[in-house]
A and B are shown apart, each in its own frame.
Chain A
Amino acid sequence: MNQVRRLLPDFGTTSSPTSVERLKERGFAEALRKVFAMSGEDIISQITESGIKGRGGAAFPTGLKWSSVYKAPGETKYVVMNADESELGTFKDRVLLEEDPLGALVGVLIAAHAVGAKKAFCYIRGEYRDVENRMAEALDTLRSQGWVGPDRVDVQIRRGAGAYIAGEETALFNSIEGKRPEPRVKPPFPTIKGLWASPTLIQNVETLANVAVLFAHDTEWFKQYGTKETIGTKLVAISGHVKQPGVYEVPFGMSLTDILNAPDLGGGIAGSGRLGAMLLGGAAGTFLTPEEIAKSSLDYASLGAVGANIGSGAVMVFDDTVDLVGVTTRLARFFAEESCGQCVPCRVGTQRVVELIENDGIQSRPQDLRELGLAMRDASICGLGQTAPLALLSLLDRPELRQHA
């Protein structure tokens, strides 16, 4: 077995995902009892000791973030769960919330208790209506057990309205505040000045689920999997030319080859049967060649060596017949559609990238595209504009991926 089941419940779990029975079975009820008897400092030091890093893409050390919110001056603090999962090829938070919604919500409650927040928001992608219903049911369960409510932590669900940009943390705050979801300038960081200008802890669904399972067990247990640098497991969403696309939980450090081919994971390359390329990290990710895939593993250092990043955990696989210029064109159209329009490099840059690529620019004007892409990466306000050109730049850097185009 290459798969691990920690964030996701064991195969054969029969309890309803939103039931009190599940809350007990997964150890979450006990975890809540334990945590609410602990001080914020103790909780945070255990998080720090566990080595958890943010799973939304940036891999920021979770303990450090919590400690920053904890220490930030201010009477009112907030915790926000970012479930606005919109990255192309990323569907792990959906599966996680469908199969075990209590986990991430228990993570929210632990976080709120640790940093001293009385109110929390779960911001969920608008298209995830079924998931939202399930989350609401899970909240009802927690409420019935006395963990959610005005005396403990008040948790509310907020639904997105279909904008990719609203998943950017500061744009998400604006959206919750009822404003246009335009990213804010950082610094000040959300830990100091977030929702309604109060210190705010915002975490991805998967990070919070990690927190829940950590306290349902202990640090020793948590450190069973992963590498020295990156502890724990990661959900990967495999799509495209693999025999068994889907969401899998794997330990950090697993080779990309195993992720693609193991019989209980990707199950091998589909389509022509020959691996052509991988887009790692979603639309905002990087193309990797078969050679790079062969020598890389799911770890930040290993992927950093080939200029890639785990990002949200999206693994898009292409066989050797796919026209990657065509794929890049579609990605470019996506970003042009989803740019909020606030800053020049992203607003105009995403448009010009589409125009250039559609007119054979990758072949005829690579230097102009590169300089445009670098300006977008360097000078855009937020992660959308900064990462929009990454797939394009990675394709420009790897001429061997364009041979069959």
Chain B
Amino acid sequence: MENSVTLAIDGQSITVAEGTTLRAACDVAHHTVPTLCWHENLTPANACRACVVEVKGSRTLVASCSRIAENGMEVQTGSERVMNARKVVAELLLSTSDSNLAPDLIALAQNSGAQADRFAGGATWAQPALEDNNLYVRDLSKCILCYRCVEACGDDAQNTFAIAVAGRGFNAHIDAGFGRDLPESDCVYCGNCVAVCPTGALIGKKEWDLRQTGQWDESQITQTETICSFCGVGCELNLHVMDNQIIKVTSPMDHPVTHGMLCVKGRYGYEFAQSEEQS
């Protein structure tokens, strides 16, 4: 077949289109690798290293999210080195960040047999949440530095570049520039960073408040599909509704217009819909 490559994944020969990543090829082979920082609509950051696989001839393990499949590659998704790396990655993150709202991390920890407390007891990222605006809260104690928010804010979606990584080593963190509050930063409150955050470190203010008071109840939330009425682009909206109140707005990640990304009006401009004073 032209424009295709054939490789072996865990001994199984598989043919995929040229340019396919190892991660996608592993999916095709039904040997799915776990991911944390990878997101379907963002450039791979290859920062979490949960998706590493062993490629024959390669000195180190390889991040499958960004490595392109090549003819004749022999890939192991469950070798001893891979399993150790995956487990340690989960343990290191658990020892650092609050994983309460991080389902992918919790699943990685369970599937890799991680011992949550193995590297615990040292420095952590525990810190007060930053509530400096009405639209979303930054709880960096939950951050795993996956870079998704930076990419969504940058040239993968919003092109605003309001946030980046600052500091280095264990002190690296997401920053809006010189430690500024968001209202003083370049943030335009599109909330696309919130939409792609895998750990709840970025969370809508409404959801944050409801969770703080114990009123957030997933079982009571219904979703209603609609089209945003603010302009003519036609962004699809999912209204998350609890007790007849809109509490969150998202857009499907596979929607051809939005790819999950919205603007401030679509994501946060919903109060009018439930106002008594409609004129």
Q: Is the CB of B60 within 8 A of A336?
A: no
Q: How far is the CB of B56 from chain A (nearest CB, A)?
A: 14
Q: Mark B172-215, 1 if CB is under 8 A from A, else 0.
A: 10000000000000000000000000000000000000000000
Within 8 A of A (CB), among B134-193: 144-145, 164-165, 167-172
B61 contacts chain A at the CB level, 8 A cutoff: yes
Q: Is the CB of B169 within 8 A of A345?
A: no
Among the listed stretches A94-102, A199-207, A272-280, A371-379, which one makes contact with chain B, having 4 or more residues with CB under 8 Å of it?
A371-379
Closest residue of A by beta carbon distance from B166 = A180
Q: Mark B46-67, 1 if CB is under 8 A from A, else 0.
A: 1111101000000011010011
B92 contacts chain A at the CB level, 8 A cutoff: yes
Q: Is the CB of B122 within 8 A of A352?
A: yes
Q: How far is the CB of B65 from chain A (nearest CB, A)?
A: 9
Q: Is the CB of B61 within 8 A of A378?
A: yes
Q: Is the CB of B81 within 8 A of A345?
A: no
Residue in B63, B93, B123, B169 whose Cβ sees the most chain A Cβ within 10 Å: B169
Closest residue of A by beta carbon distance from B122 = A355
Q: Mark A317-341, 1 if CB is under 8 A from B, else 0.
A: 0000000000000000000111111
Q: Is the CB of B85 within 8 A of A336?
A: no
For A381, list chain B residues within 8 Å (CB).
46-47, 49, 63
Q: How far is the CB of A65 from chain B (nearest CB, A)?
A: 17
Within 8 A of A (CB), among B76-94: 81, 84-85, 87-89, 92-93
Q: How far is the CB of B91 from chain A (nearest CB, A)?
A: 8
For A356, list chain B residues within 8 Å (CB).
119
Partner of A185, one of B66, B121, B168, B171: B66
Q: Is the CB of B49 within 8 A of A380?
A: yes
Residue in A180, A340, A343, A349 whose Cβ sees the most chain B Cβ within 10 Å: A343
Q: Is the CB of B89 within 8 A of A347?
A: no
B35 contacts chain A at the CB level, 8 A cutoff: no
Q: Is the CB of A348 within 8 A of B60?
A: no
Q: Is the CB of B85 within 8 A of A341?
A: no
Q: Report how far A187 CA is from B55 CA in the complex, Å.
A: 13
Closest residue of A by beta carbon distance from B118 = A368
B250 contacts chain A at the CB level, 8 A cutoff: no
Partner of B119, one of A342, A352, A380: A352
Q: Is the CB of B63 within 8 A of A185?
A: yes
B96 contacts chain A at the CB level, 8 A cutoff: yes
For B49, list chain A residues within 8 Å (CB).
343-345, 379-381
For B145, list chain A residues within 8 Å (CB).
341-342, 344, 347
B95 contacts chain A at the CB level, 8 A cutoff: yes
Q: Is the CB of A341 within 8 A of B93?
A: no
Q: Mark A254-276, 1 if CB is under 8 A from B, else 0.
A: 00000000000000000000000
Q: Report how far A28 CA is from B180 CA in the complex, Å.
A: 54
Q: Mark B88-123, 1 if CB is under 8 A from A, else 0.
A: 110011011000000000000000000000110111
Residue in A185, A343, A349, A379 whose Cβ sees the most chain B Cβ within 10 Å: A379
Partner of B170, one of A341, A368, A377: A341
Q: Is the CB of B60 within 8 A of A351?
A: no
For A136, list chain B residues within 8 Å (CB).
none
For A380, list chain B residues within 8 Å (CB).
49, 60
B interface size (C-beta, 8 A): 38
Q: Is the CB of A355 within 8 A of B60?
A: no
Closest residue of B by beta carbon distance from A338 = B169
Known: A341-B167, A341-B170, A349-B88. A378 touches B93 (CB 8 A): no
Q: How far is the CB of B247 from chain A (nearest CB, A)?
A: 32
Closest residue of B by beta carbon distance from A179 = B164
Q: Report how far A66 CA is from B92 CA in the complex, Å.
A: 40
Q: Report how far A41 CA is from B60 CA in the complex, Å.
A: 33
Q: Is the CB of B46 within 8 A of A344?
A: no
Q: How far is the CB of A365 from chain B (nearest CB, A)?
A: 9
Known: A344-B92, A348-B96, A378-B52. A339 touches B60 (CB 8 A): no
Residue in B68, B95, B172 whose Cβ sees the most chain A Cβ within 10 Å: B172
Partner of B89, one of A165, A339, A368, A375: A375
For B47, list chain A residues within 8 Å (CB).
342-344, 381
Residue in A182, A337, A347, A374 whose Cβ sees the most chain B Cβ within 10 Å: A347
Partner of B85, one of A180, A182, A352, A378: A378
Q: How far is the CB of A92 from chain B (nearest CB, A)?
A: 25
Q: Report how far A265 CA is from B50 CA in the complex, Å.
A: 47
For A165, list chain B residues within 8 Å (CB).
168
Partner of A350, one of B46, B81, B121, B169: B169
Closest residue of A by beta carbon distance from B65 = A185
Q: Report how far A218 CA is from B66 CA in the complex, Å.
A: 43
Q: Mark B11-37, 1 if CB is under 8 A from A, else 0.
A: 000000000000000000000000000
Q: Is the CB of B169 within 8 A of A344?
A: no
Partner of B172, one of A338, A347, A349, A375: A347
Q: Is the CB of B169 within 8 A of A371?
A: no
Q: Report how far A160 CA is from B123 CA in the complex, Å.
A: 30
Q: Mark A180-223, 1 if CB is under 8 A from B, else 0.
A: 10100101000000000000000000000000000000000000
For A374, list chain B residues within 8 Å (CB).
81, 84-85
For B67, list chain A residues within 8 Å (CB).
187
Residue in B61, B167, B168 whose Cβ sees the most chain A Cβ within 10 Å: B168
Name 10 interchain pairs, CB-CB below 8 A, sorted by A. Answer: A185-B63, A185-B66, A341-B168, A343-B47, A344-B93, A345-B49, A349-B92, A350-B170, A368-B118, A378-B85
> Which 8 residue pairs spanning A and B have beta carbons closest together?
A341-B172, A375-B88, A348-B92, A379-B85, A355-B122, A339-B169, A351-B170, A379-B49
Known pairs A182-B165, A347-B145, A379-B60 / 11 extra A-B pairs, C-beta < 8 Å: A185-B44, A187-B67, A341-B170, A342-B47, A348-B93, A348-B95, A349-B88, A352-B122, A374-B85, A379-B89, A386-B60
